[in-house]
Amino acid sequence: MTDSIRFTKGHGTENDFVILDDPDGALDLEPQAVIALTDRRAGIGGDGVIRAVRTRAAGIDAPEDAPEWFMDYRNADGSIAEMCGNGVRVLAAHLLRAGYVHDDGFAVWTRAGLRSVDVLERPETDGAPWSVRIGMGRSTSIRGERTVEIAGQALPVTDVDMGNPHAVAFLPEGTALEQLDLTHRPSLDPEPPADANIELVVERGPRHVAMRVFERGVGETRSCGTGIAATAVAAALRAGDTSAEPWTVDVPGGRLQVGWTADGEVTLTGPAVLVADGVTLV
């Protein structure tokens, strides 16, 4: 990276990111720079870094008809992630606020492919939330071939692929979600070859669940967009719900809605907040 660069800090239900504005692909974003930027004591702090870069300048393989903008997402440990649902919403707010895009409906490219954006509400003042719906792509799920060890129990897992891997487990009735110890990663058996984000879920009511998540490359976060989508997919499968009616998912950082389009694409709707602009010397 250069000696100094402008950044924006934003979050989606308190899943927070450092956004680096790099439209022409000039940055050499090394893992150690990501680690320094996301350090909550010695850096800006965040669950990850988003490099806002034009797809043609990003140095990636992309189809000729790919959208103009690419979300180059890095976990807090410097590793590359395929997708981030909260991150797409925050990136969308940044691109609109910066004047790079102007329409409330557009698309961005990610390592998991195209993700559509629909801005449902723009804020009237800086620092207020945007309301954004993201097309998350189609999901694939496999139930019952893996377990997760949590609170002394081996719980069955539903593997859900939302462009990145998730292991979703429902807690037994009476288990207090808020009291689980997620300071360390729960173990999966068998361990997936590319690791996985782990979601632990309880029922709250009809089409309503709550979850906590341990994200690979980060640890526990206040929210995870792809994990929320994966949780709703697993919850609908578990309930035998094929209605395509939306599900509500509560996370420590807020509440989001997951729906399905007529052709089966998963959608994620929730807030995006841009909280600060500045210059970093990292």
Instruction: Please give the pLDDT value at position 2.
Output: 58
Rounded CA-CA distance 133/93 in Å is 11
Given the residues 117, 224, 229, 230, the one annotated as active site = 224
Query: CB within 8 A of 233, min separation 6: which ones?
Result: 139, 141, 160, 162, 168, 258, 266
- Other CB atoms within 10 A of residue 188 CB: 18
Cα angle 242, 243, 244; round to 5: 95
CA distances from residue 76 to 33, 47, 91, 220, 265 in whole angstroms, order as listed = 10, 5, 17, 12, 28
Does the annotation mark 73 as catalytic? no
Rounded CA-CA distance 37/30 in Å is 11
Does the annotation mark 107 as catalytic? no
Contact 153/169 with Cβ under 8 angstroms? no
Given the residues 84, 200, 201, 232, the one annotated as active site = 84
pLDDT tens series, the chain, 282 aa: 557 889 999 999 999 999 999 999 999 899 999 999 999 999 999 999 999 999 999 999 999 999 999 999 999 999 999 999 999 999 999 999 999 999 999 999 999 999 999 999 999 999 999 999 999 999 988 876 899 999 889 999 999 999 999 999 999 998 999 999 999 999 999 999 889 999 999 999 999 999 999 999 999 999 999 999 999 999 999 999 999 999 999 999 999 999 999 999 999 999 999 999 999 987
